[in-house]
Structures are given as structure tokens and as C-alpha cells.
Chain A
Amino acid sequence: MIDFGYTPMPITVHNMDKADLSLAKWLAERDETFNHCISCGSCAATCTAGKFTDFSFRELTHSIRRGEISKAFSESEKCMLCGKCILVCPRNVNTRNIVMLIRKANQIFKP
């Protein structure tokens, strides 16, 4: 085996026919701007919380839309609700409201 100084990542495949989209649907029903996100990452780039932790609003919503909701609630706790991301979002996603909704959903989507 040769060490080339880099390695392949594990392959992730998302089967959207089987993905759990219940949280994504629940959020979109309450704030339709959830569906407007294009995952550009402008929010994450400007996020102060993301400067000091591995938090990313883009990753959070992206994961929810792929049905990966196991970490969504704990992730949403990292946001400090400053609202800077709302200012930069090119799609006018109501980011802070969505974070609040995810926290609220935590009460409902208990396993």
C-alpha cells in the first residue's frame, strides 16, 4: 500500500426514495422559505457561531433535506440567533426563524 498523502472519503449515497423527509416537510409547512435555500453557504461563511464551532446553517438544512435528522436538534442549539445570515442570504431564507422552528420541532419529533 502506498501513502500518497491523501485518502478517499467513505462513499455516501442518499436514496431519496427512502429518506425521512418528515422534518423537512414540517419546516416547509411553517416557513416556506426553507424550500428556497440553494445551499450556497453564504450564511455559514458569515456565521460567528460557525467561526468558533463546526456549526453551519447550510449543512444543517442541507442534511434535513436529505433526511439526515439525527443531529439536527443538537446542531440547532449552536446558533446564537444573531441574524447575520439573514442579511447575506441571496434567497431571503428566514434562517433564524428556521433555527427556532427546528428547536421547536425537537419537542415534537422525539424518537
Chain B
Amino acid sequence: MKKEGKKKIWSEYQKEIADDKFYFVRSCIRQTFFPGSDTAYLKILRDVLGKDVYEDPNHTTCTGIAYHTEVVPFSTIQTVVARNFALMRENGYENYTPSCVTSFGIYSEILDTWHHFPEEKQRTRDYLRKATGREFEEPANLVHTSDVIYKFRNEIAAKAKYRLVNKETGEPLKVVDHIGCHYSKMFPSKGVGGAEYPQVLAGLVETFGGEVIDYPERRHCCGFGFRQYFVQANRGYSISASKKKFASMEPYKPDLIITNCPGCNYFMDRWQYALEEMEGKTYGANGEGIPVLSYEEVAGIVLGFDPWKMGLQMHQTDIEPLLKKIGVEYNPDDKYKGPNGEDLGLPKGLKFIKD
């Protein structure tokens, strides 16, 4: 089939994304590795777009990582998810927005299971009632937080201070979009643009003025793959998958990798460092790495948020070359300052590929 024809078919994969009143659910790893990304998301939604986003201190992780590594059984994860759904309704919300792609995949899988096997849903009801005395209802709308940013991309672009354009040359920045596998590979109808041509990040990049690169390994896994990484002996598989992607995108000279999954963000960022340490090889221009950012970090940059308040110094692959290309005004001296301006010192043992 011709690529154009395929693109047309996938473009029919659209989904409903709620407009307001979001119940926000955190990711377990994202807030640990990139603590500013959730904050940036909430700031964009609340302060820039004026949306009602509720974050419940009682909600928990979806336990997806433990489920995918067979530590948590399916009945347990269903009950944990049902509890989060119960909390959402108790707080008067019905639009569920997980910030993690693994979680989004888990929620989609469980809702689909309940649809096909109502007895599983009934059993989950019984477990939840026995364990917590709670009742739950499914969300009216379940979307990933990147879908929400995608929906409001034009509003964000209208308020943007910067564009994804090289300030010196006026050329659009070349951007690699990497969609988490669990966003739409398992349930293509749950992703904007389906599994092969997801628009959720590409649409964002184009609206912000960048150019999306279509490279051979575009749909390849980031390398996380749960047990490829968690079992140390398997980590060679994980880093090999990432390396394959970097080598495939390298000839296109990307300025930025944008991801919508905390795991992808982490692995595409950290494995560049590890590959430099192992093989002395970097994949960006001038011996640098290719900066890796999440969708709301990119949205935060174009909106003119302070990069260090967004926690962009937590990325191991230095993002300063990108800030310079865009022409972002920032203070390099504030990079390692705490919230009250105190000097935190250089992180011990951290080595940027090229500073």
C-alpha cells in the first residue's frame, strides 16, 4: 500500500478529548526523574488555559510496571485502577487523564477487558468493596495528558513566546517524535492518528513551527520494554533498541526528540549518556547528544517558562544547545539553583555528553 493511502486510513483514527474538568493522575517514574514535567503540565492547563484540573492526594500509581513484570496480578491491578476511578467520581470528576503512557495503556486494557468480560468487572467491584468499601464507575472520557496538550495546541501556540525555529537560520527545527508503544500500538483506536501515524506529537510539533522527521525506525521501541531493562542481564537488549533508533535518526540531524511517555523520555535521554560512556559515540551535531523533552516541556519552552524551574536540568543529555537554537532567554547560572535561589552544586557523578 502507498504511504499516502496508509496515512489517510490512519488519519481517520480520532478520539474524543474532553474540554475541561480533568482528573489528573501522576506517573510513578515521571515525577521522580523529571519532576518539573508534571508541574509544567498543571501550570499550562491551569494558568495558561484556565482549565479545572483536580489532583487527588489519595490517588496511587496504576502499578503498571509491576503488572508488566508479573509481580502484580491482573486482578490486583484492576482493583487498584477501580479505586482510582472511585476517587475520581467521589471528587465530582469524570474525565480521567493519566500522565503516563504505561498507565494509559493499562486503563485502556482494563476498560476493554471489562467490556468483553463483564464478570471481571463484577469481580473487581467485589474486591474493591471488600477492601475499601468503595464503588466505582468508568470514566466518561479517558485520554492521555499528551492528548490534552494536543487538543489545545492552537491555543498554546497563540500564546507562545517562541517557536520551534532556529533563530539564526529561520529554518524549522528538525524534530523526532517518539510515541510510547502503549499509547496506541495495543489499542489503535485510542490514539489520535492510530498506531502508525500518531498525530499527537507530530501535530504539536508542526503547530509550534517545527518539522517532523520520518526516519526508518520511527516506530521502534525506545528500549525500555520493562523486563528488558529491569533484569540487569537483559539490559543489553534495552540499550541496543535505543541505539538502533539513534543510529537511524542520526543522518537526519535532529535538533530534538519529543516523547509522550515517561519511560521513553527517560531511556532516550539516559541511554545517550550510557552509549557515550560505553562506546564513545554521540548521535547529535558537534559531538553533543540529541535533547529529549516531553510534550509539556516543549510547550513550556515555547510559552517562555523558565527552563530551570521546569526542571530541564534533570535531563542528562544537555538541553542548552536547543535553548540556544530557539533563542530562549535564560540564565545559565541558575541551572543548579534550588527553589529559593540557593546553590545546589553540580550533581555528583553526572556527566553531560558534551557541556
Is B331 an interface residue when CB atoms closer than 8 A count as contact?
no
Taking CB atoms and an 8 Å cut-off, the chain A residues in 70-102 that contact chain B are none
A8 and B243 within 8 A (CB):
yes
Q: Chain B binding site: helix, strand, loop or mixed by DSSP?
A: helix
Is A6 an interface residue when CB atoms closer than 8 A count as contact?
yes
A9 and B240 within 8 A (CB):
yes
Is A5 an interface residue when CB atoms closer than 8 A count as contact?
yes
A11 and B244 within 8 A (CB):
yes
List of A residues within 8 angstroms of B278 by Cβ: 1-2, 4, 7-8
Specify which of A1, A2, A4, A6 lies most central, judged by the most chain B CB atoms within 10 Å of its CB: A6
Is B247 an interface residue when CB atoms closer than 8 A count as contact?
yes
List of A residues within 8 angstroms of B280 by Cβ: 1
List of B residues within 8 angstroms of A9 by Cβ: 236-237, 240
Per-residue A-contact encoding for B226-237, CB less than 8 Å = 1, 0 else: 000000111111
A4 and B243 within 8 A (CB):
no
Q: How far is the CB of B248 from chain A (nearest CB, A)?
A: 8
Closest 7 CB pairs of A and B: A6-B236, A6-B235, A9-B240, A2-B277, A8-B240, A8-B239, A8-B243
Instruction: Give 20 new A-B contacts, CB below 8 A, not counting A6-B236, A11-B244.
Output: A1-B277, A1-B278, A1-B279, A1-B280, A2-B278, A4-B235, A4-B277, A5-B235, A6-B233, A6-B234, A6-B239, A7-B236, A7-B239, A7-B278, A8-B236, A8-B278, A9-B236, A9-B240, A11-B247, A13-B216
Point out residues on A near B: beta carbons under 8 Å: 1-2, 4-9, 11, 13
Point out residues on B near A: beta carbons under 8 Å: 216, 232-237, 239-240, 243-244, 247-248, 274-275, 277-280
Can you name 14 A-B residue pairings with CB atoms under 8 Å?
Answer: A1-B277, A4-B274, A4-B277, A5-B235, A6-B235, A7-B278, A8-B239, A8-B240, A8-B243, A9-B237, A11-B243, A11-B247, A13-B244, A13-B248
